[in-house]
Structure 1
Amino acid sequence: MTGPAQNALYAALFGDPQTEALFSAQAELAAMARVEAALAVAQSQLGVIPADAGPAIAAACTALPIDPQDLTQATAQNGVPVPGLIAAIRDRMGRTPHAAHLHWGATSQDIMDSALALRIGPILALWEGRLHAILTRLAGLAADHADLPMAARTYGQAATPTGFGAVVAGWGWPLLDQVQAMPALRDRVLRVSLSGAAGTLSAMGPQGPAVRQAMARALDLGDPERSWHSDRSGPGHLADWIAGLAAALGKLAEDLLLMTQSGIGTVVIAGGGASSTMPQKRNPVGPSAMVALARHAMGLAATFRAAGLHRQQRDGAAWFTEWLTLPPLCIAGGALLRTADDVLERLTPDAGAMARDLQIGQGTIHAEALTFALTEHTALDRATAAARVADLCAQALREGRDLTELARGAWPGPDWPALIRARSLGQAPQEARAFDRAVRAASGGLDQGGS
């Protein structure tokens, strides 16, 4: 499958070679052969097939020399690669009677779903390591800049002061949730499938559940203790998880695009991209790629979830939709993580730009703080104070005078700038430091084997 992630021109922008490698034809064939071997060994140990058939089949499945191109036509004809794979394994086994016991009582979906789980396991481990690194970077930024004031914006408008550390924490909390959701995700996704032709395991008789259990043990996958051919909620949880990851990292990137735009520049991302014609520009390429990947991933996740409408006991069209959707969805998720780590490594706040940004609007960003200070230090009630401050804001903008200067004239005596500073950041510094502590606690769990 060729797309921007595989195109040499764009692969470094949208691709993730480590994730992509686990969706290669060779990786898929190797995983399916491993599943066939585990099935045969489990069946031979439980007496479903002759005792010496399992080891013979497993030996034939080991390091199977198959060129994926050799299975192209068979896959196109059969709609699945498993029949072609079985034929290739049997050819390797020759005339031995053990070859007849290969794939005994299983169906193609059992092999393919189990093989997918074998490949998703390493992908989740890779992503968890990347998330750990991203969270460590975010926690460091949050802790180091917990008290650095900047303008918060709602609906694109300056609202009140906040802290850069709290903004970073806001980026990080959803990612910490994603890490903490991984054990449950693994339970739902990393499980064996063995249900036979139509979900009844009838060809294996009463030993079917025991075979599935032994097979799961051999492959280090979970045993769902039931058929799940048409229940796509497990893979659907993976799509949902990636969509959540994309939303979190996409929001981070959208904020960075706004924070780096001309006239604001409250953060710097070293090594920005160049323009072909405007030598002054340093484009925020990394965040732009992250937003594009996030939108791509969320769209693919919706398509994948729609494929969960499986008709009857197996639905070829729905299943094929999963095949078309899951690889690029996972590659987008991996590329998002890879790019986010790179961007955060090059990110620094510009305290001077943040201070200047706070002064835009003649200090009217402090209107809320002044309102509540008035209710504490004058006889004004909140409604009256808010109305008086609104009038002062209009005057400040009209006359180009600072809001606190006007407040001193209207209510002499109190040190309004000091009173505003005392409350302007609210709980922002505490939020930043709480996030840092939470990441450290989660990282300790990972270092002790939580992954």
Structure 2
Amino acid sequence: MASGVVDSRVFRVMFVSEEMRKIFSDENKAQKWLDTEAALARAQAKLGIIEPRRAEQITKFAKAELLDLDAIGENYKSSITIVPLLKEFKKVFDDDSGEFVHWGATSQDIMDNGMVLQIKEALPLIKKLLEKTYKEALRISAEHKNTVMAGRTHVIHALPITFGFKTAMWAQEIRRSLDRLKEITPRVLVGQLSGAVGTMASQEGKGLEMQKLMMEDLGLNIPVISWHPSRDHMAEYVSTLAIIAGTIGRIAREILSLQRTEICEVEEPFFMGKVGSSTMPHKRNPQVCEGVIALTKIVRAQAPLMVEAMECENERDWGCEAVEWDAIPKSSILIAGALEKINDILENLLVYPQNMKRNLNALKGAMLSEAVMLHLGEKLGRLSAHEIVYEVCMKAFTDGKPVIDDLLEREEVSKYFTRADLEEIMQPEKYVGLSATFVDRVIEDSKKYFG
């Protein structure tokens, strides 16, 4: 019986990446624990700590499908250690090799390794999805690098930009998160094997060599020292996902905002049969964008929780690590879901250049106030020009006349400029600055990433 969105048969399609959900499933979690126990046994067999035949048996039966996961869950009523797994694992052997599983390790060694191995599977999927987002943002930027639209600051029309310039900023922000994923990977993918308090006292002087063999087997980096109470790299992983969520949420929010009826410059993908309202048949709601926004809020909320969980006591503290058992899978599954959805939005985004052009004159020319001010400033000085243009624009707000008419009524302006002069100055297409150049720079920079 599902009680949360990750496992809900009703809501799951709105929230999760099924591929990522499999990575953080109970079955895969148990498999990663078994993989860790088997790698430990193989390392110990090489060092003569256990017999090779024991390691062979442990490896042979280290298969999650042989376990009764429900029984493991039932045993967690009395234990928060790895013991519930070990009890069930022991039952699958056809000899007594189960007695030699987990030799000299501690529960957190196995559970930390299991989580790291799940993250090891998750990172390539996140990277693949985010690279798709990057490519889509780059494609839109190239297609619309000269599509002029109103730039907005503080939600108000500011100066003209191009739509490609806007999406190129998305692309470069995504690029930085791709770089972050690459940077954190060696810090996050560090294995754990250090015994009860991290000193390897139980490993008969062979701890470091055994640790090296085990981590090479699992494809993980070797820890310099135990990280049982040191959860910073787990917090860094989730914090990086939270940053990605911030970017994806911003993109979804921007599309939602620009889809407003009064603006209608872009729209999330629409198809016949997509229903926006149970009572208003006309509604074409940005419901996928709203879903992405909800997902990214949940992911971002995990970052402060993970930083809080860094405050572990002494050499081990389940009260901290248990937080990760929820926050890491949830963050990973939901960010992957958000990326899948934003990728579909960007791939099939509806762009309305005609509405962008229409909206450019919503302020009846006031959006080009800076251009007028700078030209007039060459005659009168910048401060005087600013005051004049400000007064004209404020008047235009109330009298409803085109700004150019009010400008020409001012003697200080008409003395230097004709209507034709002002019409030339106040063309939005000629005041987009280096919008197209910056798009080209972002696209050129992307070649360094993709090669």
- Coarse TM-score class (shorter-chain normalised): over 0.9
Report the TM-score, using the length of structure 2 for normalisation. 0.93
Match of 2:244, SS state, is helix
Distance in 2, Cα, partners of 1:200 & 1:79: 22
Aligned to 2:384: 384
2:54 corresponds in structure 1 to 53
Number of corresponding residues: 440
Question: Residues 251 and 116 of structure 1: is their aligned pair in 2 closer, same or farther, counting only changes over 3 Å?
Answer: same
Does the 8 Å contact 1:369/1:423 carry over to 2? no
CA–CA separation in structure 1 for the residues paired with 2:158 and 2:168: 19
* Higher mean displacement: 256-265 or 404-413: 404-413
Is the aligned partner of 1:211 residue 2:218? no
Secondary structure of 2:78 counterpart: helix
Map residues 349-360 of structure 1 onto 2, 5 A cutoff: 349-360=351-362
CA distance in 2, matches of 1:154, 1:357: 15
* Cα contact 2:267–2:286 (8 A) shared by 1: no
Q: Which amino acid aligns with 2:358?
A: R
Q: Which residue is 1:397 aligned to?
A: 397
Give 2:444's aligned residue.
437
The reply to whether residue 415 of structure 1 matches residue 421 of structure 2 is yes
Percentage of identical aligned residues: 26
Q: Is the 8 A contact 2:267 2:349 kept in 1?
A: yes
Question: 2:45 corresponds to which residue?
Answer: 44
Matching residue within 304, 316, 319 for 2:318 = 316
| Alignment-mate amino acid for residue 83 of structure 1 | V
Q: Deviations over 1:394-414 (max 9, x none)?
A: 232233232234445623347
Letter in 1 for 2:134: L
CA distance in 2, matches of 1:337, 1:180: 17
Q: Which runs of 5+ in 1 are unaligned?
A: 445-451
Q: How many angstroms does 1:187 deviate by?
A: 0.9
Q: Determine the C-alpha separation between the residues in 2 that align with 1:119 and 1:248.
A: 24
Aligned: 1:424 with 2:431: yes
SS at match of 2:150: strand
1:373 aligned residue: 375
CA deviation digits over 1:1-33, x for unaligned, max 9?
631232222111112111111111111111111
Distance 2:48 2:68 in 1: 33
State how far apart, in whole Å, the 2-side matches of 1:200 and 1:124 are: 30
1:193 aligned partner, one-letter code: Q
1:84-99 alignment to 2 at 5 Å? 84-96=84-96, 98-99=97-98
- Map of 1:23-422 to 2, 5 A cutoff? 23-62=24-63, 65-80=66-81, 82-96=82-96, 98-271=97-270, 273-376=275-378, 379-407=379-407, 410=414, 411-413=416-418, 415-421=421-427
* Cα distance in 2 for residues equivalent to 1:370 and 1:215: 70
Per mean C-alpha deviation after superposition, the further-off stretch among 141-150 and 183-192 is 183-192
Deviations, residues 356-378 of structure 1 (Å, cap 9, x unaligned): 111111111111121112234xx
AA partner of residue 364 (structure 2): Q
Letter matched to residue 336 of structure 1? A
The answer to whether the 8 Å contact 1:5/1:13 transfers is no
What's the secondary structure of 1:115's corresponding residue?
helix
Change in 2 beyond 3 A, CA 1:384/1:310: same
SS of alignment partner, residue 252 of structure 1: helix
What is the TM-score normalised by the length of structure 1? 0.93
The CA deviation at 1:350 is 0.9
| Residue pair 1:152, 1:159 contacting (<8 A) in 2 also | yes
Q: 1:241 to 1:122 in 2, by over 3 A?
A: same
Instruction: Report the Cα distance in structure 1 between the residues aligned to 2:205 and 2:405, rounded to whole angstroms.
Output: 86
Tell me if structure 2 keeps the 8 A contact 1:141–1:168: yes
**1:449 alignment counterpart:** none
Deviations, residues 194-235 of structure 1 (Å, cap 9, x unaligned):
010111111003211111111111011111221000000111
Match of residue 447 from structure 1: none
Q: Distance in 2 between matches of 1:314 and 1:244?
A: 29
Letter in 2 for 1:426: G
Two-structure CA RMSD over aligned residues (Å): 1.8
Deviations 1:375-402 (A, max 9, x none): 34xx211111111111221232233232
Instruction: Answer whether contact 1:187 1:222 (CA < 8 A) is retained.
Output: yes
**What is the CA–CA distance in structure 2 between the aligned matches of 1:28 and 1:242, rounded to whole Å?**
20
Measured after TM superposition, the shift of residue 74 of structure 1 is: 1.4
Question: CA–CA distance in 1 between the matches of 2:129 and 2:250?
Answer: 18
Q: Any conservation in 2 of the 1:166–1:429 contact (CA below 8 Å)?
A: yes
In the alignment, residue 435 of structure 2 is paired with which amino acid? A
Tell me if structure 1 keeps the 8 A contact 2:276–2:287: no
Q: Is the 8 A contact 2:130 2:339 kept in 1?
A: yes
